[in-house]
Structure 1
């Protein structure tokens, strides 16, 4: 195994030093033991671990001016914050908790929320998860869904094969009723592909399998099921949105080992030569590379035809994030709702987050004067004179793919109309800000072809000393949350330095299982050693 700590290499100059000419021109050649591409959660996890080890020389580069990647936060000119997707903090790892608590250490840095989440169906708010709360449906729909549940339960007793795809898993677990009224239409809106084109190995505990007796009992007694899932309680930063977490984590790293901005864009990866060229001409020689850019983009940059061909088997959807800021008190019908699901076709979005409920600092304070840009129905306001709030806000997500095209030019208009259609807002509500941003790589699709590609692609890259990790670096949605992504970077570094098992990448079911709870109570430094030893004792290499 390579002992990186014993190797002496040139100190990495800071960008400021390069600008001032203290160490030569920007077009210089430097060397590090470990180069990290991307300063999202995965890259920052890798950098954090490298900094703690205090042995290998390292550098992290990112083409954005601000760290955070797909977990960053934008601010509108009017002062409304919008995350670049629906992000909340719930963790499977004590190490992760310790790192973000170090970055944001004060009690008033955080809010803790109980998830209040619903599905919008036929003008009703059905508590999440839908399949556990059929008692809220109209009687005809209840009967249809229960029929399917009973049929599925009977068939499951004699089934002797695994489900071949996500659609078959849905049918076996829930039956045709729930499949048709919720699971199929909703998941198509999320993933932008039919459920028949998705595998089911990614599910783990992410989708609630209904308890048939419990569901029927709730219907008879007109009761709803309690909160379910790992994010039933979650944290959210008081200020600066989700992106503020990662800006704070980045500030705990040495400035001399970070480069952000367009000049730090990777233009070429020479895998054979172990070197990366940046946009400003700088050449970085590395011994090991932790890559967090999308793996399909990485192999294009490398130019390896065989790897490029493998990457064509990986599918993704694009995501549109839409924000709407509204003047007025938060309506009673909105209340303390967190995020809401929309399976029906009366709106383009699949999820809405009441972003103003996460923190009072996610929108301007009441005394800030803003002009009304439009009324919700698209008409002009009677006055555009700036006036005070209060304000509240909604964040929406819309998926897009070749199988699910969208009208990008009218996305904002159609989304606002969808909010009216679903009674989230009223036609005469005053809109004071709007936001729309498209992310080309939004969701890594757990397609039927995914594992066949990844089991060849990732080892082929690692054989060239490239650890490709992260939401799109390793392309496994089931370990793509912020805590997972961060730990993918941490564990990649531990694997590079001392050969530790990468649990998150290789054993996602174990990491996500409820049985894993006790791991969070252990000291972070002991996690990898204990888990690796346990797996090896079971014959897992």
Structure 2
């Protein structure tokens, strides 16, 4: 891609999408004093999947759970500057609800809460795995792990895989983990320390201090979307055009056409749209065929508001994983625990987010169709507050929810990017870059920032090309 920071370059940069990646790019352009850019956003609001909504009943809703944990000093400073003093800091207290038991997260260090037989199966699986590993070290039988399911079995043993890892991931991804690669894992799932597990069992000890988001911050008011609204508000006037849907992109003439007929020329295009959608806009047959091979999930989120306070046994829980096949959702979040301002009256009301996943190959459904099942399952699980009035609901849908890291994902992406870049297009973001391992909010911001650095010749990209390097520590 040619450098857009030269006297001969028209310097017109068009950004598609005002989610974290698009806003990150716009922020960086403004920071560097580059004025000739525009952001086109098809929705009437900014934030993408990290948006928040305030309804007529006085409830604030996020689309699913978003945790402001950062791998970057740049993002830390940006977040602090956007909402100075505007965050609550929470200790992650995640739980798993299954087998009629409450199991602290992570499962592999806390399965002592399972029924005795299942607990024994989990421990025996780890011990057998350790013996197997020792034998392989001395007999040169070790083999490389080919897929996510193999990784579960080799890292956790048969018991933990059967009782948590496999059922939860089947629900979350809506695909057989044997069809998923392993390059995306990084710091998202821990490898088990068997001695630590045995110590926890001996001491009847809960062990919850693993993970990149053990302590996280959350906006005091306005939900996660308050971050993006403030970020957008600080951009120069008229840089973001809302309710502007792109309908086609001409890569040869470098033009973008909107639904209202507007045509805008670009020298460099940063697209955060889902890759299959971008391929359709470009109408290049080979690109469309390749992009259609990418797999994803639909996500439905049911927001539930109650006219009673949060039950005491849920008052300190941040989110709840639900691997059981009986439950329609894969995760439940007691959302009013994140901020008292999410509800009209924290002493007399409470709110929850329930997330449901379906394969992207299935037709989109009305999220309201899940309501009766959601209420039934919450009641059976013992997580639904008593309410004198009808439950207030706020259903939300994402056609593109999770980009699935399939076995062939990296080959598909390499082929797509090789065709896009000669057209002056950098595709980045959760679905523009299609790398789940760098799809958190901080990663998404930095994908936009680094794309601009590369375009203007002031720095290189790291996040999208080198996820493992980024996730290894703070940069």
**Distance of 1:416 and 1:88 partners within structure 2:** 25
Partner of 1:382: none
In the TM superposition, residue 426 of structure 1 has moved relative to its aligned partner by 5.4
Contact 1:60 1:258 (C-alpha < 8 Å) held by counterparts: yes
Partner of 1:488: 447
Partner of 1:339: 319
Q: Who wins on radius of gyration, i.e. which is larger? A: 1
2:197 aligned to which of 215, 230, 247: 215
Call closer, same or farther: CA 1:509–1:401 in 2, change over 3 Å.
same
2:21 matches 1:64: no
After superposition, the C-alpha distances for 1:155-196 in whole angstroms (9 at most, x for unaligned) are 233153221100000000111111111111000111111111
Partner of 1:99: 78
Contact 1:117 1:338 (C-alpha < 8 Å) held by counterparts: yes
In the TM superposition, residue 344 of structure 1 has moved relative to its aligned partner by 0.5
Q: How does 1:425-444 map to 2 (within 5 A)?
A: 425=384, 430-444=389-403
Q: How does 1:110-259 map to 2 (within 5 A)?
A: 110-157=87-134, 158=136, 159-259=141-241
Contact 2:13 2:38 (C-alpha < 8 Å) held by counterparts: yes
In the TM superposition, residue 459 of structure 1 has moved relative to its aligned partner by 2.4
1:296 aligned counterpart, secondary structure: helix
**Distance of 2:429 and 2:418 partners within structure 1:** 15
1:424 aligned to which of 358, 364, 383: 383
After superposition, the C-alpha distances for 1:344-366 in whole angstroms (9 at most, x for unaligned) are 12210111111101111111126
- Structure 1 length as normaliser, TM-score? 0.83
Aligned length: 468
CA RMSD of aligned residues (A): 1.8
After superposition, the C-alpha distances for 1:270-322 in whole angstroms (9 at most, x for unaligned) are 01110101122221111100000101100101001111111122000000000
After superposition, the C-alpha distances for 1:13-72 in whole angstroms (9 at most, x for unaligned) are xxxxxxxxxxxxxxxxxxx62111100000000111111111362111101111101110
Partner of 1:374: none
In the TM superposition, residue 81 of structure 1 has moved relative to its aligned partner by 1.3
Call closer, same or farther: CA 1:294–1:180 in 2, change over 3 Å.
same
Contact 1:135 1:215 (C-alpha < 8 Å) held by counterparts: no
> Where does structure 1 lack aligned partners over 5 or more consecutive residues?
10-31, 367-388, 520-541
Partner of 2:457: 498
Contact 1:342 1:351 (C-alpha < 8 Å) held by counterparts: yes
* Higher relative contact order, chain-length normalized (CA < 8 Å, sep 6+): 2
**Distance of 1:404 and 1:299 partners within structure 2:** 20
Partner of 1:396: 354
2:438 aligned to which of 473, 479, 502: 479
In the TM superposition, residue 154 of structure 1 has moved relative to its aligned partner by 2.3
**Distance of 1:148 and 1:482 partners within structure 2:** 35
1:289 aligned counterpart, secondary structure: strand
> Where does structure 2 lack aligned partners over 5 or more consecutive residues?
none
Partner of 2:268: 288
2:13 aligned to which of 23, 34, 38: 34
